[in-house]
Amino acid sequence: MTATNVLTAMIEKLEMRCALSEDDRRAILALPHTLASYGPKAYIVREGDLAGGICAFALSGLAFRQKLTTDGARQIVALHLPGDFLDLQHLFLRVADHSVQAVGHLEVVQLEHGALQRLIRERPMVGQALWIDSLVEASIFREWVTNVGRRNARARIAHLLCEFAVRMRVSGLTDEAGRCDLPMTQEELGDAVGLTSVHVNRTLRGLEAEGLIQRDKRRISFDDWQAISQIADFNPRYLHLDQVSRGGG
Amino acid sequence: MTATNVLTAMIEKLEMRCALSEDDRRAILALPHTLASYGPKAYIVREGDLAGGICAFALSGLAFRQKLTTDGARQIVALHLPGDFLDLQHLFLRVADHSVQAVGHLEVVQLEHGALQRLIRERPMVGQALWIDSLVEASIFREWVTNVGRRNARARIAHLLCEFAVRMRVSGLTDEAGRCDLPMTQEELGDAVGLTSVHVNRTLRGLEAEGLIQRDKRRISFDDWQAISQIADFNPRYLHLDQVSRGGG
DNA sequence: CGGAAGGTTGATTGAAGTCAAAGCCAGTGG
DNA sequence: CCACTGGCTTTGACTTCAATCAACCTTCCG
């Protein structure tokens, strides 16, 4: 992967959020940047940190956002795939209200806040695309509140799987048969949906026994998308995958 | 309330998010706008709606964001006080992924998307303030995921009360003794924290019996802030009340 | 080959949900 | 002025879903 197509990944992502001009694209490609990688469980951001002056954009691997409660419980509040910004919020928020952690091996491009801020100032449509990206993220948070607050274990887990599968598909990370890797432990899945690992295990096995999903190691496939998305009460509207057309700049 | 100081409320809000220049303020005050009001339970936005071309900024009253699951359960995903934008996201997102509903009587200023977009283009710092506002909202969503996913009934309710009290205080809506009106039914409180109204009732009475809060109708006061915020595991960091200084424009 | 991390299973407990009735209170209309 | 109504709150009895605790099993990797 050359330095150039690294930023191309970012352009592709932003063009999902709103249309960019040739000048916009050129300005992005001109951005100074560095590659970095993190090992499993490495922190990209820690709750309480002061903004560090750089933003990370994921190129490969998986990461999640998490918060801890005082009594030590963890809540995973978001999953991030390649093509996601991991800490855009710190462009503007001074102190980190949550941590961002790599799941397995994670590769990112790092961009300086200063350079990004200049880009946003000079190319307003790029700023708008970034803003829209953060609005979509907020929409996903709302869905997660609903998932954790109002669905039972079966639906919650099914919902997480559906969201993951759709986002992986959109990013071109599923195989022809719709299988994808979900390299999270059952404990982590539990922390993402507000359940214990034991109950996640039983529920996953239940879904598998019913012939709704198949698992092989941590690779997962969906035998009956219709059925599982119904159980999950999954409606992809909240992912706002239809954004491109809009944007009133 | 004259037309001028209506927009002053909006300036005050934005100046909590980042510093504005005299020109920025002037541009905001020049914004064409109309006043509107909604009765109890009126919808400002309905899930599935196409963006309607106007944004509402709350002047008085209370509103919440909610999502419904297929089996009819409701999750309230956010509360909004005077001084909050109610549907800023539709400036950029085409279809509403959730509804916004008035609690009691609600007064708003309405601003045309076109005018707002022009403002954002011409006064980038105002755009930044609005963006930051949506980032802070996203941070609150993350906290809510955690609240609903990892805290027990007592802590969840206490947390909601603490957040509400702090935000009311910041907006100058509490009395000298820190009392404030929380005009929601116990059913609505339950829908905000993922519990049933019956359990909310028992838990509230529990908190009251322990001398942590006092209730009178739907007015609430905190007898021992230290204790209740500890029970709630409440840390106001996620509200990002310290924003003003920052902003790299 | 051994150890650690993660997955699976069973038995038991417990927090919150459900169902149902009764109490309270503000507003309305006779 | 009081009875009536409807919406909310409160309470009790019972149920259920998920948590907890504790093994045991499997897989992977050094």
A189 vs A177: which has the higher pLDDT: A189
Q: How does pLDDT run across A33-65, given as a tens digit for each residue?
A: 999 999 999 999 999 999 999 999 999 999 999
Locate the DSSP E strands across chain B: 34-38, 43-45, 54-60, 63-68, 74-80, 99-102, 106-112, 180-181, 213-216, 219-222
Pairwise CA distance, residues B121 & B103, whole Å = 34
Question: What is the percent of chain B with per-residue pLDDT over 90, rounded to a whole number?
Answer: 90
Q: How does pLDDT run across B196-214, given as a tens digit for each residue?
A: 999 999 999 999 999 999 9
Q: What is the pLDDT of residue A117?
A: 97
Residue A35, strand partner residues: A109
pLDDT confidence tier of residue A244, bands split at 50, 70 and 90: low
Q: How does pLDDT run across A202-243, given as a tens digit for each residue?
A: 999 999 999 999 998 889 999 899 999 999 999 999 999 987
Average pLDDT over residues A95-105: 97
Measured between CA atoms, the residue of chain A closest to residue B99 is: A142
Q: Which nucleotides of C are covered by protein (CB under 7 A)?
A: 5-10, 15-20, 26
CB pair distance less than 8 Å for A240 and B73: no
Q: Report the candidate in A137, A172, A154, A132 with the shortest Cα–Cα distance to residue A234.
A: A154
pLDDT confidence tier of residue A4, bands split at 50, 70 and 90: low
**Protein-to-nucleotide distance from the CA of B199 to the C1' of C20, whole angstroms:** 15
Q: What is the pLDDT of residue A247?
A: 44
| CA-atom Rg of chain A in angstroms | 18
Residue whose tokens read 């196409």: B50
Pairwise CA distance, residues A18 & B148, whole Å = 33
Alpha helices in chain A (DSSP H): 3-17, 22-29, 113-122, 124-150, 153-170, 186-193, 197-209, 225-231
- From B103's Cα to the closest Cα of chain A, the distance in A is 19
Q: What is the pLDDT of residue A178?
A: 83
Encoded tokens for A39: 């090992």
Which of A 132-161 lie inside 8 A of B, CB atoms?
132, 134-139, 141-146, 148-151
CB pair distance less than 8 Å for B134 and A138: yes
Locate the DSSP E strands across B69-175: 74-80, 99-102, 106-112
Average pLDDT over residues A186-200: 98
Cβ–Cβ contact A13 with B under 8 A? no
Q: Report the candidate in A100, A66, A96 with the shortest Cα–Cα distance to residue A85.
A: A100
Pairwise CA distance, residues B93 & B161, whole Å = 31
Is pLDDT at A5 greater than 90 in this prediction? Answer: no
Distances (CA, A) of B186 to A51, B86, B115: 39, 23, 39
Q: What is the pLDDT of residue B248?
A: 43
pLDDT confidence tier of residue A71, bands split at 50, 70 and 90: very high
Cβ–Cβ contact A237 with B under 8 A? yes
Q: How does pLDDT run across A81-93, given as a tens digit for each residue?
A: 999 999 999 999 9
Cβ–Cβ contact B92 with A under 8 A? yes
Residue whose tokens read 């959020």: A17
Locate the DSSP E strands across B193-248: 213-216, 219-222
pLDDT confidence tier of residue A249, bands split at 50, 70 and 90: very low
The ranges of chain B with pLDDT < 70 are 1-4, 244-249
Q: What is the pLDDT of residue B244?
A: 64
Q: What is the pLDDT of residue B249?
A: 38
Query: What does pLDDT average to over chain A?
Result: 94
Contact call for residues B116 and B27 (beta carbons, < 8 A): no
Is pLDDT at A246 greater than 70 in this prediction? Answer: no
Encoded tokens for B16: 């909590």
Q: Report the candidate in A239, A188, A156, A197 with the shortest Cα–Cα distance to residue A76.
A: A188
Q: What is the pLDDT of residue A248?
A: 43
What b/e string do you get for B144-181 counting C-beta neighbours within 10 Å, with b at 16 or more?
bbbbbbbbebbbbbbbbbbbbbbbbeebebbeeeebbb
Question: What is the percent of chain B with per-residue pLDDT over 70, rounded to a whole number?
Answer: 96
Query: What does pLDDT average to over chain B?
Result: 94
Name the residue type at position A93.
Answer: L
DSSP labels, B21-57: -HHHHHHHHT---EEEEE-TT-EEE-TTPBP-SEEEE
Question: What is the percent of chain A with per-residue pLDDT over 90, rounded to a whole number?
Answer: 90
Question: What is the percent of chain A with per-residue pLDDT over 70, rounded to a whole number?
Answer: 96
Q: Enumerate domains of chain A plus CATH numbers.
A: 3-144 (2.60.120.10), 152-232 (1.10.10.10)
Q: What is the pLDDT of residue B242?
A: 85
Question: HSE of A89 in the Cβ direction (CA atoms, 13 Å)?
Answer: 31
**The dihedral formed by the CA atoms of A6, A10, A16 and A17, expressed in degrees to the nearest 10:** 180
